[in-house]
A and B are shown apart, each in its own frame.
Chain A
Amino acid sequence: MIALTLLMTFSAVSANAQNKDRRKSFKSWDNYEITTEKVGVDGTKFVKVWGFGKTVDAATMAAKENAVHACIFRGLPGSATAMSTPPICPNPNTLETHEDYFQTFFAAGGPYLAYVSMTTDGVPSGTDRRKVKGGYKVGIYVQVMYDNLKRKLEADGVARKLSSGF
């Protein structure tokens, strides 16, 4: 009986820890899905990105943030007709080194919004809008002004210019 109680307690603790881990990874900024839809017009990237939030609007904003975040730190995966895109800042320490800069950049209504625009109007619907525990998960199609974003980060000294040093 004691052994059974111990086993049950151990299982409960272990499951709780797993849930905590899952929640932690779910909340992590790197935990989002993004796919390149096709080659965008000059200087832009056309992607489908997912975001999570308590409301649909909050999830949409999070998705926009994720799209810009991916262009800067993660890069965009390739697809059948579009090559992958490398991150603007490939150095893994960039976020830590320029933490204050990115806090302001990604603040609510921050400068990042100038580099992303939704390609469709209205609220995401159908399979692109999912009710999940704690809010909504939405997928939106966005156009990221990749070249403009790169120029901005280069001008602000966050990314290195191709011609710097020459």
Chain B
Amino acid sequence: MKKSLLIAALLLACQFIGWSQAKKPTIMVVPADAFCERYGYVQKVNAMGETVSSPDYSRAMKENSDIRTLVAAMADFMAKNDFPIQSLEQELKRLQTEDAEMAMMTGRSGGEVEETPLERLRRNARADIILDLDYEIHRVGPQKQVSFNLQAIDAYSSKIISGNTGVSSAANVPMTSLLEECVLSFKDNFLSGLQHYFDDLFANGREISVTFLRYDNCPFYFDDDIVIDGEDYEFGEWVEEWFQDNTVEGRFTTGASSGNRLRFTQVRIPLYAQNRKGRDVAIDADDFVKPLVRELKKKLNVTVGSSPRGLGDVWITVGDK
């Protein structure tokens, strides 16, 4: 009797875990900077007297049919693996429409939608995993050959999850055929790299970055000694202790540490946590730091805000929001 009750309880627990699914990362194929430079899809911007070139993705997607073929082929196999990728082209179009609509939007009483410059800057095409794609066409006598380079990059840690390079066969066939051959050639290796990354995510937690920024109206610097719970702590030291207690196996790395800025990288967070109602829910970087923000507000009596920069990156501002 006891045994069957135990099994029933275990099954129930499994079901609860099964209900909460981890937050799915978004994936987007982006032409590599080198590709944009090589084919002239760049915008020249004058930044403080210096001419800087940045990739013009919109032009690359509109004018280069080969890159569209590659993206379509990759989107196809990712969709077949229940992992549809975001379309950069559509995302850029959506942002353009959104800009136009927001400029025209007024409330019934004449009010306007507010947007800070930072919010405007952050409202751009972004994904959790970037597929950085580059290829080059070579001539082998009368035949063509394509060499390709595809890197899957974690947008928050800048770590390369999966890297694939190779060449197609040399043939006198339409470019589309050679490009499709390239995709079919690297497809399984690429998926295997991605699977390895997800396996690691489920085994060791999501890897995130947390940055603390100090506003000038914060009464202390991050390297100052402050009193928390009746004890003298350096602010950074106290935060480190919090991370030691709350990360998966206490895994994190303290990066830059100064009076105004603290950065923690390779912070391994659990994929699930309990919400206020005690239910298991999937969490991301912003959800993970919420209890820390609440604790800081309570213990230090200062304004603390958190600002998510995606699933795996969050800024915590101390002194103001």
Contacts and interface: CB of A to CB of B under 8 A. Distances in A.
Interface in B186-233: 186, 188-189, 191-192, 194-195, 198-199, 202
Contacts of A41: 184
A68 to B, nearest CB: 15
Interface in B62-87: 80-83
A162 B195 CA distance: 6
Contacts of B81: 161-163
Interface in A142-166: 146-147, 160-163, 165-166
A149 to B, nearest CB: 12
Interface string A6-39: 0000000000000000000000000000000011
Interface in B254-302: 271
A66 B179 CA distance: 30
A86 B188 contact: yes
A53 interface: no
Contact of A83 (B21, B22, B186, B198): B186
Interface in A62-96: 81-86, 90
Contact of A81 (B21, B167, B195): B167
Nearest to B164: A83
B169 A165 contact: no
Given A39-B181, A165-B198, A166-B21, A146 B188 contact: yes
A42 B187 CA distance: 10
Interface of A is mostly: loop
Given A42-B184, A81-B167, A162 B83 contact: yes
Interface size class of A (residues with CB under 8 A): 20 to 34
Contact of B188 (A81, A85, A163, A166): A85
Nearest to B24: A166
B192 A86 contact: yes
Nearest to A81: B169
B195 A163 contact: no
A40 interface: yes
Contacts of B186: 83
Which of A82, A86, A166 has the largest number of chain B CB atoms within 10 A?
Answer: A166
25 contacts: A39-B168, A39-B169, A39-B181, A40-B184, A42-B180, A42-B184, A81-B167, A81-B169, A82-B185, A83-B164, A83-B189, A84-B189, A85-B188, A85-B189, A147-B80, A160-B199, A162-B81, A162-B82, A162-B83, A163-B82, A163-B83, A165-B21, A165-B198, A166-B21, A166-B23
Interface of B: 21-24, 80-83, 164, 166-169, 180-181, 184-186, 188-189, 191-192, 194-195, 198-199, 202, 271
